[in-house]
Amino acid sequence: MVSTFFTLDKQVTVTAAHTFRLQVWVSGSGWSVPPEIFRYKTLPTLPHDTDRVCEYDGVCSYADMLNYPAAASNDHTAFFRKNSIDITYEAKATLQDFWETLQTNVQSLVDDIDAVQAAAVVETGTEYNSLFKVTVGQRSGGAGNSVYVDIAVTLLPAQAGEIAVFVVEDVYRDSVKRDTSVISVASYADIEAYGTTVVADALYRVSSITFAIAADKVADVVAAFHEDLTQIFQYQADLVDSPDVESIDVEASGSGDLTFGDLGALA
């Protein structure tokens, strides 16, 4: 496997105000990875102001590389990526500490990208009720000791069923989508209540999810998902085996008209 690499160039100068200016830029990268690895955030110059200023926010994580654009957008997206840093410190020692930490964080990003390229699949292709297949994968890239877990549901050939069995909700801050939160595996009622169309500030259903979790918790969480998936898939299998709804007639005894107010007495 070809390893990821980034070539960092730097320049230190003394400003007219007798501060130390550090300029860093990525002059090369490998493994088809873009050089924009520095995360920036846009902030209002004043509270509730429409004018914005861009501020360096750290080295990107693997997830940041996937989720944030490589340039600031006109819609004031809170985070974006650049391939350079221009920052000033009053003390040279502080600048040197920043530079050393920066190199460490870039190396962590390199390690995460390499680990993703060699991602280990925890479980592939578990079949349920001869209708559905669930693929579970694990890859590094989360904060600290966490990893990303990917779970996707597909139909087996020549079968029919509802594969959007995960209930999710988009998370917004400052009117900008930041993340998608996994709520649960859908219940029978959820299948009827929630659609598959993305709706802001509302729950909806999808067929695949990705979430970050502590590495030592993956097995327990995947087992819990299996239990919930088994229930919803068994429910759908039962519908396929017995699609007809049985109707019965109920006769009321006694005299008088039945009104809505009387329904409680029947419970």
What is the tens place of the pLDDT at every residue in 219-250? 788 888 888 888 888 887 777 665 444 444 44
- More confident site: 260 or 98: 98
What is the tens place of the pLDDT at every residue in 163-194? 888 999 888 777 777 778 888 999 888 988 99
What is the tens place of the pLDDT at every residue in 119-142? 544 555 677 666 777 887 777 655
Which of 85-89, 212-216, 225-229 shows the lowest per-residue confidence on average (mean pLDDT)? 212-216
Q: What is the pTM of this model?
A: 0.47
Interatomic CA distance for residues 153 and 162, integer angstroms? 10
- In this prediction, residues 35-60 reach a mean pLDDT of 81
Structure tokens at 179: 């993340």
CA atoms within 13 A on the CB side of 71: 2
Does pLDDT of 262 surpass 50?
A: no
Q: Are 44 and 50 in contact (CB under 8 A)?
A: yes
Rg over alpha carbons for the chain, rounded to the nearest Å, is: 27
pLDDT computed for residue 96 by the predictor: 95
Q: In degrees to the nearest 10, what's the CA dihedral of 97, 102, 107, 111? A: 120
Interatomic CA distance for residues 122 and 44, integer angstroms? 44
Interatomic CA distance for residues 123 and 152, integer angstroms? 11
Q: At 153, give phi and psi (nearest 5°).
A: -110, 130
% of the chain beyond a pLDDT of 90: 23
pLDDT computed for residue 221 by the predictor: 83
Highest mean pLDDT among 34-48, 153-167, 185-199 belongs to 185-199
Q: Are 50 and 10 in contact (CB under 8 A)?
A: no
Helix, coil or strand: residue 230: helix
